[in-house]
Amino acid sequence: MEASTRQTSAPPGPGDARPEAGRSAAAGTIRLILHGTRMDRADVREAVERLRSEGHDVEVRVTWEAGDAGRFARSAVGSARIVVAAGGDGTVSEVAAALAGQDGPALAILPMGTANDFAVSAGVPTGDVDAALDLAVSGCEAATVDMIRCGEKRFLNLATGGPGTKITAETPEGLKRALGGLSYAVAGAVAGATRSGAFAGQVGVVRGPGFEWTGAFLALVVGNGRQAGGGVELCPDARIDDGLLDLRVVPEGNGAGALLLESLLRGREATLDDASFAHRVPWIEVETEEPMQVNLDGEPVEGTSFRFDVDPGALRLVLPQGCPLLR
């Protein structure tokens, strides 16, 4: 989860300006929701000032505490044309969940996190604030895409579960920053196995339409998007507009699963099908003997019973031409 920083409005300077009187908010207002830890970025200030000089109405809201991104997104319904989530995967997912099912603004992404997994896999410009914001305001027709629902929670990219998810959640923030995008469930699982020399899988039942599997697993992934961990493609064939979820399970097996995870962590070529199995289905149920921690785009939840459903066409999302996540 991304940290929040205390700030309730736009930072001083260009970010304080408001749309000129007489402009039609419905015609083109853009609300940029900036993660608080990025509020001092000069390139964002300059890009916002440039857009305003080009005639765009840009409102800036900076997060202060947990839940602010979602609140700012919901309050933009009915007044903004585009909501830009400026942060990492957690910010993007929170804003997406707030806009899902609304007859209102489309979501655009300004990637500013450590890994930016969803943005990278979708082809959204990273490392270039101007390019990302130009895409956001380009007038491209927003694509209608799916989300995942787990209970009452909606999220956009991936859910990861298994023994390593809890390890990752308990890793100190300093170590997470040092690891960067690799401080996710898969990386944590491998780190735990390496440190202890032994790796016990999570025992449970995984079922969906037409299949049921029982056993111990090292990692479980439910994907709408493709990658996590700073570029680890766990669901390489996933599409965000096909009305289906991509399930990937790495069984404990005879050690092949641990070798697969280690290869992925170290950036080596690895054949997922050699040590895991996959299904593409509209819903998935998971029951475990012991409580399991699952990360929903980085938000940890814990329990022994989970159900994941695809939420088809839940979100309008501004994406580049030729986005690989679309059919």
Q: Per residue in 23-43, pLDDT tens?
A: 333 357 999 999 999 999 999
- Which position has the token pair 């995870």? 261
CA distance 59 to 218: 44
pLDDT for position 130: 97
Q: Per residue in 108-166, pLDDT tens?
A: 999 999 889 999 999 999 999 999 999 999 877 899 999 999 999 999 999 999 875 55
CA distance 12 to 223: 39
Half-sphere exposure of 24 (CA within 13 A, CB side): 4
DSSP 215-251: EEEEEEEEESSSEETTTEESSTT--SSSS-EEEEEEE
Q: What is the pTM of this model?
A: 0.81
**Can you list the alpha helix ranges (DSSP code H) found in the chain?**
25-28, 42-53, 68-76, 89-99, 117-122, 129-136, 163-169, 173-179, 185-196, 256-265, 272-275
* CB neighbourhood size of 254 (10 A): 9
Listed as ranges, residues in the chain with pLDDT below 50 are 1-26, 168-169, 171-189, 191-192, 194-197
Domains in the chain, ordered, with CATH? 14-139 (3.40.50.10330), 155-312 (2.60.200.40)
CA distance 19 to 295: 38
Active site residues: 299
pLDDT for position 234: 83
pLDDT for position 162: 85
